[in-house]
Structure formats: structure tokens, C-alpha cells
Chains A and B, each alone.
Chain A
Amino acid sequence: MNLNFLDFEQPIAELEAKIEELRLLSDESAIDISEEIQRLQARSKDLTKSIFSSLTPWQISRIARHPQRPYTLDYTKRIFTEFHELHGDRAFGDDAAMVCGVARFEGEPVAVIGQQKGRTTVENLQRNFGMPRPEGYRKALRVMRLAEKFKLPLLTFIDTPGAYPGIDAEERGQSEAIARNLFVLAGLQTPIIATVIGEGGSGGALAIGVADRMLMLEYSTYSVISPEGCASILWKSGEMAEKAAEAMGMTSARLLELELIDEVVPEPLGGAHRAFDDMAERLRQVLIDNLSTLRKLDNGDLLIDRRQRLMSIGQTKEKQ
């Protein structure tokens, strides 16, 4: 079993293994089997297309958490030039689960904030699996204010299972740190574009996700709680996660339908992890378009629009 493939992708994995085998064989033998290889490659592509055209929300949430999926720093490398990371919240410490800095985007200076997961165990321990602590949110807050001061558009990249739920985080005021970011972002005098690149987990994601444009990669998810968490609370069983994923409507397509996000960035066939460069280029284009629209607005209009967007969220009925 190839661990780079998820369980529902195993048919593709098997086919790919076969292709690889044939390729090795063709190197050694005199018989020309390149035609056969091509035929199989076409079949693998069709198979991927068909599997990916009918993914369930649970399967999508598995892709969003794929260990090979590109993370924030994979995008900063490809989308920006001169990215300079800024460390520390100037109060407690530096949180490696949150990456902040300044960079150039299409030659123009911007501020960048994103959560960062690790790819290896060692990296994941250092990055705390992409779960920021209060100092991470306060570092982000510091960079938000910097963006406002120097009139830098703010680009955020959301990829976290959630804010870290540990005692130390509580002691240093996880709630206050998140609340403060929401409060400041709502009135920040600079354009903000937030993109969910993987997992958008709850308040921990929202704390860098109050924006003028809300984007999501096709196979990313955004929800109030993880499907496992939702299942264990409402169904009293973590095994109902699949059902919870369905019920919460956490996929990009569903959230676009609900008008909670503005745009879905299509992913390369088989998901972003199959083609980092292609994915980064797609995202770059979308960011260029959205930023140029936002740049046309003056700060006053920008803030009025942002406020109206926030105030319109919610569905209720009113008795007359």
C-alpha cells in the first residue's frame, strides 16, 4: 500500500504501481511497451478524474489534511519574492505554528500571515501540528498592525486543525488572543485576503481569517469544529466523523453555495499535493485578480464593505 495515496485512491495507486513496474521493465528489455504505458497512464488519469469528481466531504477533509499537501511556506516560496520572516510576539515567545513576515508580491510589498504544519515528526513537534498558541496569534496581531501602519495589503493562509487546546495556552489567554485578532481585523485599515489552503479549523483559523476576500482551495475545508470533534460531542462517538463532515457542509463547494466564501481556487488533478508549482501558480493568479480589485477601493469603502459582509452573516426569521 502506497502511503502517499489515501484509501479511496488505492485503485489509482495500484495502477500507478503497475505503470512504474512496466517502466522499469522497459528499461531492461528490448520489447517496446511504451504504448502500453501510455495507455495505462491515460487510464490512471481517467480513474483519478472519476474518483475526484465525486468525493464525499469526508474524503475531501482527508485530502485537506494530506501529509504531502503544500503548506504555507511552500506557497510563500513560490508566490512571493524576498519573503522575510518576522519572529516573536514581543511578550512571551515565538510560535513556529504561525509564520509571519513581509514579502513582495508582483513586486509590491505585502504582509503575510499563515499557519504552518510540519511534514516530519520532528518538524511537526516544532510546529505543534499547525496549532498556534496565544503567542502565535499575538505575533500575527503584531504583523497585522505593521501591515496597517505601512499600508501593506495583508495576505493570510489558513491551515490549522484549530488553536492549541492545552493548559499553557489557556494560561496565556488563548480566548483573548483570538478575540483580539477578530476585533482588530474587523477595523484594520488595509485590504485583507484570506485563503484556506488546507484545514480551516474553528476559531483558530478565523483568528487570521476576517477578510475582504475569502478564498478556499478546492479540496480544503473550513468548519466550526473538526468532524471528529463534532461527532464526539453530538453523536458521542468519534467514529461518526464521516457523517459529521457531511452534516456540517465544510467543503469549498458547499460554503460557496452558502455565500460564506467568495471564490474557490481549482486544484490540479488529484489534489494540490500532486503538483505544488501548478497549484501555487493558480493561487497566485487568483490573488492578483482579487488584490487589484481591492486596491481600487479607498480604505473607507473597504471597511464599510468588510463590516457589511460580516453583519450579513447569519440566517434567522423574524416575526412581525
Chain B
Amino acid sequence: MDWFKKLLPSRIRTNGTTKRVVPEGLWTSCPGCKGVLYRAELERNFNVCLKCSHHLRVGARQRLDWFLDAEPRVEIGKEIEPIDFLRFKDTKRYKDRLSQAQKATDELDALVVFMGRLQSRTIVAGAFEFEFMGGSMGSVVGERFVRGVNAAIEHDAPLVCFSASGGARMQEALVSLMQMAKTSAALAALSARGLPYISVLTNPTMGGVSASLAMLGDINIAEPDALIGFAGPRVIEQTVRQTLPDRREMREQITSLLSLITHQSAL
């Protein structure tokens, strides 16, 4: 048979020893349209899918980096760290969950706040890191947010917050609920000073965060198709047995609460 093989080499090659190495993460797929996207191009488009305009998740630091002028920038409340004051344990210890999240995200907690400039105007801007325990709000998030507000008051600067959160952090129990009151009280003080607060609600903004700081903007802006609300779809379905309409429909229904729905790149 050898002569035949020589004559007609097989199209199926099994002995390809020289594998071509594709660098990890060069390509990514869009969760919206399943299209394959070139990462560099995606990032140039601020993580908005070039094919279907789906807004992919953006990390806190990345978002602020895009948003603020390059110089100067000062991080607010960087030194504040979470502690497991209740020694909370579910299937895992809160302490372990924290260190795991810290390792995975390289952040100490779920909110990053900077004072910087936006087109040369001093501004305080915060962003939630959803990858850190679902962007949940506990003591650190509350404290950093309040310090951000205080810095804005001190420098007579406007405040912008990009939220992405599942809500309050259950592992801090009632203390996390009280962060809703704490952050809202700080915003009341900011408002009394006549300073503007713009809240940008990204996907998702739910529970305790939407029912406090995220809904209190002088202007509330939402990302297209972001899931925004008090109770999540699962909770609604389980407790009241209603099935939610398609996310797009829901967005149309809550527009009364929002001043603007805008494309990420427009920001």
C-alpha cells in the first residue's frame, strides 16, 4: 500500500508534532451573540461587542481607568480591609471567601474609589468590582463610598458611581443592611451641599445596592439591557411564582426610574 500512500498523501495528519501555540485570551466570545471577538479590538470598543452591542462585564479598575484622565489620580480608602467580625460560616468561612476573592481579583473589597480629573475637572468616581463576591456591599464598600462622598464635599467635586452588585453582603448580616442607610445618608449630605451625583447602573444592579446608593443619582444612567431591580428574577419566580418578561422588555418598564440609557462608549 505504500506506493499508494506516496501517490495520494492522506489529508488527515495525525503526527503533527509542531503545535501552533495560540496565546491564551487573545480571542473571546460574546455572551450575547456568541460571536468570536478579537480581544484588543473589543477593549478598544470599551468591552462592547462589535457585532451585537452586548455590554460585556468591565472590572472596576479598568472602568475607572477608561473614565478618568490619566493624571492625577488618588485612590480613596485603599487601606480599608474587610474583617470577619461575625465569624460567619455557611458552607465556607467568610474569611476564606474573602481571601479567595482577594486572590482572584487582586482587590481588597468590591468597591474602588478614585479622586481624579475628568476633562481637567476634579471628580470623585467609584466603581463596583462584580467579580469580588458579586459586588456585594459590606462594611468596606460602605466606608469607601462614604469617604468618596466626603472627599467630593471637601473638594467641591461631583460624584460618579458605576454600580454592579448583587446587593448586600449576607456574611456581614445586619451590618451590611445598615450600609444602605449609611451610604444614603452620605448622599443626603452631598445633595445638601448642592453637588451633583451621577449614578451609572451596569449589569447587574440589584437588591441593597439598587435600593440605596444606585437609585439616588441626580441623574441615573443605565447600560443597555442591564438587569436592574430590587428582587432578582429567581427570587421573584420562587416567592411569587411570576415569570419575568424578557430582560429587554423589563428595561423598557423601568425607564421611568432612569434618566438615560446609554452606550458604554458614549461615557
Closest to A210 in B: B181
Q: Is the CB of B216 within 8 A of A249?
A: no
CA A134 – CA B230 in complex, angstroms?
Answer: 11
Q: Is the CB of A171 within 8 A of B254?
A: yes
Residue A296 at the chain B interface, CB threshold 8 Å: no
> Which of A174, A180, A224, A233 is packed against the most chain B CB atoms within 10 Å?
A224
Within 8 A of B (CB), among A169-200: 169-171, 173-176, 178-180, 182-187
A224: chain B residues at CB < 8 Å are 168, 170, 172-174, 176-177, 208
Residue A121 at the chain B interface, CB threshold 8 Å: no
Residue A206 at the chain B interface, CB threshold 8 Å: yes
CA A22 – CA B213 in complex, angstroms?
Answer: 61
Residue A90 at the chain B interface, CB threshold 8 Å: no
B172: chain A residues at CB < 8 Å are 224
Q: Is the CB of A183 within 8 A of B187?
A: yes
- Of A68-76, A149-157, A160-168, A274-282, the one contacting chain B is A160-168
Give the residue of A170, A243, A310 whose beta carbon is less than 8 angstroms from that of B181. A310
Contact with A along B213-250 (1 / 0, CB 8 A): 11110000000000011110001101110101100001
Q: Is the CB of A182 within 8 A of B180?
A: yes
User: Could you tell me the dominant secondary structure of chain A's interface residues?
Assistant: helix
Closest to A234 in B: B90
Residue B122 at the chain A interface, CB threshold 8 Å: no
Q: Is the CB of B184 within 8 A of A182?
A: yes
What is the CB-to-nearest-CB distance from B208 to chain A, in angstroms, rounded to a whole number?
Answer: 6
Q: Is the CB of B211 within 8 A of A175?
A: yes
Give the residue of B170, B180, B187, B231 whose beta carbon is less than 8 angstroms from that of A233. B170
B82: chain A residues at CB < 8 Å are 316-317
Q: Is the CB of B215 within 8 A of A311?
A: no
B146: chain A residues at CB < 8 Å are 311
- Given A203-B208, A249-B86, A320-B79: A255 in contact with B236 (beta carbons within 8 A): no
A174: chain B residues at CB < 8 Å are 211, 229-231
Give the residue of A173, A222, A316 whose beta carbon is less than 8 angstroms from that of B254. A173
> For chain B, which range describes its interface: under 10, 10 to 19, 20 to 34, or 35 or more residues?
35 or more
Residue A44 at the chain B interface, CB threshold 8 Å: no
Residue B15 at the chain A interface, CB threshold 8 Å: no
> Which of B85, B90, B142, B189 is packed against the most chain A CB atoms within 10 Å?
B90
Q: Is the CB of A310 within 8 A of B79?
A: no
- Given A258-B174, A258-B175: A247 in contact with B230 (beta carbons within 8 A): no
What is the CB-to-nearest-CB distance from A82 to chain B, in angstroms, rounded to a whole number?
Answer: 31
Residue A318 at the chain B interface, CB threshold 8 Å: yes
Residue B202 at the chain A interface, CB threshold 8 Å: no
B239: chain A residues at CB < 8 Å are 165
> Which of A179, A222, A306 is packed against the most chain B CB atoms within 10 Å?
A179
> Which of B142, B231, B244 is packed against the most chain A CB atoms within 10 Å?
B231
Within 8 A of B (CB), among A56-78: none
Closest to B78 in A: A319
Residue B52 at the chain A interface, CB threshold 8 Å: no
Give the residue of A176, A234, A310, A315 whose beta carbon is less than 8 angstroms from that of B182. A310
Residue A248 at the chain B interface, CB threshold 8 Å: yes
Give the residue of B90, B173, B185, B256 whose beta carbon is less than 8 angstroms from that of A249. B173
Give the residue of A180, A206, A225, A243 whose beta carbon is less than 8 angstroms from that of B216. A180
What is the CB-to-nearest-CB distance from A95 to chain B, in angstroms, rounded to a whole number?
Answer: 15
B171: chain A residues at CB < 8 Å are 234
CA A171 – CA B140 in complex, angstroms?
Answer: 31
A206: chain B residues at CB < 8 Å are 177-178, 180-181
What is the CB-to-nearest-CB distance from A171 to chain B, in angstroms, rounded to a whole number?
Answer: 5
- Given A174-B211, A179-B215: A316 in contact with B83 (beta carbons within 8 A): yes
Residue B257 at the chain A interface, CB threshold 8 Å: yes
Residue B139 at the chain A interface, CB threshold 8 Å: yes
A306: chain B residues at CB < 8 Å are 185
- B residues adjacent to A (C-beta < 8 A): 79-83, 85-86, 88-91, 138-140, 142-143, 146, 168, 170-182, 184-189, 191-192, 207-208, 210-216, 228-231, 235-236, 238-240, 242, 244-245, 250, 253-254, 256-257
Query: Can you identify 28 A-B contacts, CB atoms within 8 angstroms?
Result: A163-B230, A164-B240, A165-B240, A169-B230, A174-B211, A174-B229, A174-B231, A178-B211, A179-B215, A183-B216, A184-B188, A203-B168, A207-B211, A224-B172, A247-B88, A248-B88, A249-B86, A260-B178, A313-B175, A313-B179, A313-B182, A314-B139, A315-B83, A315-B139, A316-B81, A316-B140, A317-B80, A318-B80
